[in-house]
Amino acid sequence: MTATLVAVQVLNGLQLGVLLFLVAAGLTLVFGVMDFINLAHGVQYMLGAYLAVTFYSLTGNFFAALVLALLAALAFGLVLEFLVFRHLYDRDHLDQVLATFGVILFLNEGVRIVWGAAPLSYPIPELLQGTIPMMEGFGYPIYRVAMIVAGLATAVLLWAIVTRTRVGMLVRAGATNPRMVSALGVDIRRLFMIVFGFGAMLAGFAGIMAGPILSVEPGMGDSVLILAFVVIVIGGIGSIRGAFVSALLIGLVDTLGRSFMTDIFKAFLAPAAANQVGPAIASMLIYLLMAGVLFFRPSGLFPAAGR
């Protein structure tokens, strides 16, 4: 275990954390403001990546594909909200879970029909190719650093919108007491639509950024959705600050645990036993972290006001 390896895995953990934040931010707003459990939120992550594949094949330019895919992800999220999800707002959580799980199955199969089951990808833009030297003979990919910077910049922008704009004020008020907001004359349905569309675009942005370094394939959003739910449970439902801190924490714990847990167990176990126990414990770390946080803070680390 060297200092360089630790630094690389910390950066990888931050990269995973910002991707999780982009997905979890929209999910926590939808859950916090609308009290709506949307299992299909991970599908927006997948669709963002597939839309980027399509627009890159049409334009041949990563940044043009990024902008077009973001707009398409927003539009697709609004269409889903209009056609499906708004009819579920007044239903109980079990109905929402069953209906949105059906949307997952429908859209995963739709992706297979349209794009096929084979993994797809698109290249890293030439501007962001290459590495940043960390030590002699070793560098960290520029694109991964750009992902971290883009995620942090998005977090700052989202914080500014939520805390410094009228729409953000309504979102915070809606997360605290949606009935009162509606009673004050705010079109709560329109607010819900804005929140849902913006959340879909954030998830799509995460998928677009992940496309060049991960396989773009059907069902790629399912595992991310599970981690995103862990993020909002640890951070606090409806809290953007909680989602940000929790996402970075989970990204670091998961990445460092998978990288070094076996080596840690080798310090006091036989190598064969450590090779079995280490990966098993590493895969459980984030859930152990969630259990510990919920034991001491059942509402999460930074719950939204009123929760």
- Top pLDDT among 99 and 90 is at 99
- Residue 133 has phi, psi (to 5 degrees) of -60, 130
- Top pLDDT among 192 and 155 is at 155
pLDDT digits (tens, 9 = 90+) for 259-307: 888 888 877 777 787 788 888 888 888 898 899 988 888 888 887 665 5
Which whole number is the average pLDDT over 202-229? 88
Residue 68 binned pLDDT confidence (cut-offs 50, 70, 90): very high
Which whole number is the average pLDDT over 112-131? 88
* Separation of alpha carbons 279 and 241, rounded Å: 30
DSSP the chain: --HHHHHHHHHHHHHHHHHHHHHHHHHHHHHHHH----TTHHHHHHHHHHHHHHHHHHH--HHHHHHHHHHHHHHHHHHHHHHTGGGTTTS-HHHHHHHHHHHHHHHHHHHHHHH-SS-B--PPPGGG-SEEEEETTEEEEHHHHHHHHHHHHHHHHHHHHHHHSHHHHHHHHHHH-HHHHHHTT--HHHHHHHHHHHHHHHHHHHHHHHTTTS-B-TTHHHHHHHHHHHHHHHH-TT-HHHHHHHHHHHHHHHHHHHHHHHHHHTTTS-HHHHHHHHHHHHHHHHHHHHHHHHHH-TT-SSPPTT-
With CA atoms as reference, report the closest residue to 56 among 48, 66, 47.
Answer: 66
The answer to whether 205 and 70 are in contact (CB under 8 A) is yes
Dihedral of CA atoms 204, 242, 279, 256 in degrees, nearest 10, equals 90
The predicted structure's pLDDT at residue 29: 78
Instruction: Name the least confident of 154-158, 249-253, 273-277.
Output: 273-277
Which whole number is the average pLDDT over 113-131? 87
Tell me: pLDDT of 178 over 70: no
Which whole number is the average pLDDT over 157-166? 83
- Token pair in block for residue 90: 């007044």
Instruction: Name the least confident of 58-72, 104-118, 201-215, 293-307.
Output: 293-307
With CA atoms as reference, report the closest residue to 251 among 27, 24, 15.
Answer: 15
Q: pTM of the full predicted structure? A: 0.88
* Separation of alpha carbons 200 and 42, rounded Å: 9
Share of the chain above pLDDT 90, in %: 17
Range among 2-16, 58-72, 134-148, 271-285 rated most confident: 58-72
The predicted structure's pLDDT at residue 65: 92
* Separation of alpha carbons 52 and 115, rounded Å: 12
The predicted structure's pLDDT at residue 56: 93
Tell me: pLDDT of 104 over 80: yes
Residue 1 binned pLDDT confidence (cut-offs 50, 70, 90): low
The predicted structure's pLDDT at residue 137: 64
Tell me: pLDDT of 252 over 80: yes
- Top pLDDT among 28 and 210 is at 210
Count of CB atoms situated within 10 Å of the CB of 246 = 30
The predicted structure's pLDDT at residue 66: 93
With CA atoms as reference, report the closest residue to 240 among 179, 292, 300.
Answer: 300
The predicted structure's pLDDT at residue 4: 73
Residue 54 binned pLDDT confidence (cut-offs 50, 70, 90): very high
* Separation of alpha carbons 246 and 232, rounded Å: 7
The predicted structure's pLDDT at residue 97: 87
* Separation of alpha carbons 188 and 174, rounded Å: 8
Tell me: pLDDT of 76 over 70: yes
* Structural domains of the chain, with CATH: 15-124+139-296 (1.10.3470)
Share of the chain above pLDDT 70, in %: 94
Residues 6+ apart with CB under 8 A from 298: none
- Top pLDDT among 29 and 290 is at 290
The predicted structure's pLDDT at residue 75: 92
